[in-house]
Copies of this chain bind each other. A is one copy, B any other.
Amino acid sequence: MGRTTDTRSRMVRTTAELLQRQGFHATGFAQILAESDAPRGSIYFHFPQGKQELAVEALRLAGARISRVIQRAAAAAGDAGELVDRVVGALAAGLERSGYTEGCPVATVGLETASSMEPLRRACDEVYADWQRLLAQALTARGVEPERAATLATMVITAVEGALLLARVRQDQAPLQLVAAELRRLVTA
């Protein structure tokens, strides 16, 4: 990590946004360079492995951002139900703010992965694993039995991921809210 140049981190941030909105194959360097105002010559200096390397870093950045959302929710929430509410609320707000284009920052790439994109698949996997760990911890801290917490954390992630997908495709927050209500009951049962 260390001290990255401005150009480099601007490229990563822009790429994260574009991957979230369009996926890997629809995102070209032309757009990345234009939106991050970076020079073409810098790509293979900063990212010798090319597009995949840049994408992996962008996915990690985007994943970490959501991790922080979960941590903040965990710090602020009283009970498990409120935790779910805060997390879903933050995601729903982002989706709506972006005109239903920015859902889960790793889902699109995760679904695009083929055998030639293993590093990307792995990066997505780690992001989900990280979120699951954080959620399970937060639930355990609220008195849920550890094994049950692990199960519930996975359930929350899957349902929210699916709800983000449906909400985006329908251009309507309803699925997110409906799922939030169900999950609230589930985790507080």
Residues of A within 8 A of B (CB): 21-26, 101, 103, 107-108, 110-114, 121, 124-125, 128-129, 151, 154-155, 157-163, 165-166, 168-171, 175, 178-179, 182, 186
Contact = CB atoms under 8 A, between A and B. Distances in A.
Contacts of A110: 165, 168-169
B108 A112 contact: yes
28 contacts: A22-B25, A22-B112, A23-B23, A23-B108, A23-B112, A24-B26, A25-B25, A25-B26, A26-B114, A101-B114, A107-B111, A107-B165, A108-B112, A111-B168, A112-B112, A113-B168, A113-B169, A121-B169, A121-B171, A124-B169, A128-B170, A151-B178, A154-B175, A157-B166, A158-B165, A158-B166, A161-B161, A161-B162
Contacts of A169: 110, 113, 121, 124-125, 128
A182 B103 CA distance: 24
Contact of A22 (B101, B103, B114, B161): B114
Copy number in the complex reads 4
Give 4 nearest A-B pairs by CB, closest first. A158-B162, A161-B162, A25-B25, A162-B162
A117 to B, nearest CB: 9
B162 A178 contact: no
Contacts of A108: 23, 108, 111-112
Nearest to A45: B40
Given A25-B23, A155-B159, A111 B165 contact: yes
Nearest to A21: B114
A137 to B, nearest CB: 18
Contacts of A112: 22-23, 26, 108, 112
